[in-house]
Amino acid sequence: MKVITVRLPEDIENKIRLKAKLKHRSVSEQIKKYICDAMICEDNPDLPLKFIQETLEAKAEIEAGIGAEYMFGIIK
């Protein structure tokens, strides 16, 4: 893995540190997450970020074996 140094304005750095702490991630992991989200959004400009995040979460749940198939038209 290649290491890249990025300089950020202090206010942005503080926001990233806070978000990382809230999500139990390192600052580096949080920055990677933001970059991945940005790249996906750039590739799919017609989809809202929330939809993309929920789709990725659902995919991870299926891969982890905890997802359940949605039954259309059935209310429980």
Nearest of 40, 39, 41, 34 to residue 17 by alpha carbon? 34
Contacts of 49 (CB under 8 A, 6+ apart): 37, 41
pLDDT for residue 76: 65
Phi (first) and psi of residue 31, to 5 degrees: -65, -40
For 37-71, the pLDDT digits (tens) are 999 999 999 999 999 999 999 899 999 989 777 77
